[in-house]
């Protein structure tokens, strides 16, 4: 059977996906908007075994960053392969190898790029004829944010109302705006609660509904800010939503507190540089302690140097807007 190797970029959300309406299909409570990343990606090779074994006879072989994936993380990938097997009407087992060019638990979503690359590679290797919208819906079942990584540049995930309609689409090409995402790493530790578990807790926070309502106002503002390449307008909105999402996390039951002291150090510093130096940089934070700082290309070297000089910052990862998933010629096995 032919092998297929696909590379997909991770993405950083400007308006977050947090909270599910229907956990069974990762139907979100709100639409969300992200930028696909060029420099933080997952490369995945998939080969389907030719012998059609009985289901359960033989396991899928899944290796990520050189290690065989077991436990719940492995089961999550197998469940996704099962969806693809069901679509193709096959029970072939898969060999999967995947590599991230960024450290897992770096504050960059490996599940977004991982499930996007896996979905495209696995479907292509089986010869399934699916367009990007259908692949986006399928990727969403593996990891919600993965549906946005099916597209390049600036992306909207329309909340929709069912499996077919809750899909992402591209708003603008990556070349539209040379916006930089600098990730200030303040901790390399694994997070204790996965986003998957966290989405179910959002509804337990009394602040959740207020955020959901306000996001409806912010979505067109963020779209317009991207259309105009207006960093100030974008920045104010993304900082609000990052803080609102973390307020929802922190006030749910049980409470999720992803921040470390370094998180607050970076937030305070970014605002200080804006106020005191006029440096146009704005932060956002996913479900972890590390801080993404967005700025224009010409300010990126200054922001990077400033971030690297902060006592709690151990590393700074730099990325620009990136393309939709694409085929690469070097398979991983
Ligand atoms: C905070 O359910 O896509 O990054 O559990 O890693 O698959 P995984 O994440 P997912 O939730 C992402 C949540 C977020 C915000 C966002 O990317 O929109």
Each residue of 6-17: b (16+ CB within 10 Å) or e? bbbbbbbbbbbb
Euclidean distance between CA atoms 300 and 318, whole angstroms? 9
CATH of 4-173, one of 3.40.50.300, 3.30.230.10, 3.40.1800.10, 1.10.3720.10: 3.30.230.10
Give the position, in ligand 1's atom list, of the atom nearest the Cα of 199: 2
Report the separation in Å between the CA atom of 88 and the middle of ligand 1, taken as the mean of its atom positions: 27
pLDDT one-digit tens code per residue, 261-291: 999 999 999 999 999 999 999 999 999 999 9
pLDDT at residue 58 is higher than 90: no
At residue 54, the pLDDT reads 55
What's the average model confidence in pLDDT over 25-44? Answer: 98
| Ligand 1 pocket by Cβ (under 6 Å) | 13, 16-18, 32, 109, 111-112, 143-145, 194-196, 199, 286-287
85: left (phi over 0), alpha (psi -120 to 50) or beta: alpha
Nearest CA to ligand 1 atom 12: 145
Contact 268, 283 (CB under 8 A): no
Give the position, in ligand 1's atom list, of the atom nearest the Cα of 195: 5
Percent of the chain at pLDDT exceeding 90: 89
Contact 168, 147 (CB under 8 A): yes
Each residue of 95-116: b (16+ CB within 10 Å) or e? bbbbbbebeebbbbbbbbbbbb
Report the separation in Å between the CA atom of 191 and the middle of ligand 1, taken as the mean of its atom positions: 12
At residue 2, the pLDDT reads 82
Q: For a ligand 1 pocket test, name from 11, 12, 17, 289 the mutation site with the most ligand atoms within 8 angstroms of its C-beta.
A: 17
Give the position, in ligand 1's atom list, of the atom nearest the Cα of 196: 5
pLDDT one-digit tens code per residue, 180-216: 999 999 977 666 566 778 899 999 999 999 999 999 9
What's the average model confidence in pLDDT over 5-11? Answer: 98
Length of the chain: 333
Q: Give me 217's structure tokens.
A: 């106002």
Q: For a ligand 1 pocket test, name from 144, 156, 190, 201 the mutation site with the most ligand atoms within 8 angstroms of its C-beta.
A: 144
Q: For a ligand 1 pocket test, name from 141, 145, 149, 212 the mutation site with the most ligand atoms within 8 angstroms of its C-beta.
A: 145
DSSP letter assigned to residue 130: -
Say which residue the tokens 């696995």 belong to. Answer: 122
For 176-319, CATH gives: 3.30.70.890
* Domain residue ranges of the chain, discontinuous segments joined by +: 4-173, 176-319
């Amino acid at each position: 059977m032919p092998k297929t190797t696909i590379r997909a970029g991770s993405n950083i959300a400007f308006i977050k996906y947090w909270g599910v309406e229907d956990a069974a299909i990762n139907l979100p409570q709100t639409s969300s908007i992200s930028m696909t990343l060029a420099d933080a990606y997952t490369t995945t090779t998939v080969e389907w075994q030719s012998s059609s074994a009985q289901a359960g006879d033989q396991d899928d072989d899944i290796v990520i960053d050189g290690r065989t994936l077991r436990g719940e993380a492995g089961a999550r990938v197998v469940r996704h392969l099962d969806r693809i097997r069901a679509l193709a009407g096959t029970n072939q087992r898969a060999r999967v190898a995947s590599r991230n060019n960024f450290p897992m638990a770096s504050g960059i979503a490996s599940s977004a790029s991982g499930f996007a690359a896996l979905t495209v590679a696995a479907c292509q290797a089986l010869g399934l004829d699916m367009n990007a919208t259908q692949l986006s819906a399928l990727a969403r079942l593996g990891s919600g944010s993965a549906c946005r990584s099916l597209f390049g540049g600036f992306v909207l995930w329309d909340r929709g109302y069912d499996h077919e309609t809750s899909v992402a689409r591209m708003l603008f090409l990556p070349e539209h705006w040379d916006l930089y995402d600098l990730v200030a790493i303040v901790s390399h530790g694994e997070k204790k609660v996965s986003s998957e578990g966290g989405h179910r807790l959002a509804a337990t926070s009394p602040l959740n509904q207020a955020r959901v309502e306000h996001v409806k106002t912010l979505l067109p503002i963020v779209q317009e800010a991207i259309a105009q390449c207006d960093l100030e307008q974008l920045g104010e909105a993304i900082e609000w939503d990052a803080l609102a999402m973390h307020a929802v996390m922190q006030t749910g039951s049980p409470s999720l507190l992803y921040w470390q002291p370094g998180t607050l150090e970076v937030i305070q510093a970014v605002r200080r540089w804006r106020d005191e130096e006029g440096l146009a940089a704005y932060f956002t934070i996913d479900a972890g302690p590390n801080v993404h700082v967005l700025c224009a290309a010409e300010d990126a070297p200054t922001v990077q140097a400033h971030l690297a000089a902060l006592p709690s910052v151990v590393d700074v990862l730099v990325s620009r807007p990136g393309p939709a998933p694409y085929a690469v010629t070097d398979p991983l096995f």
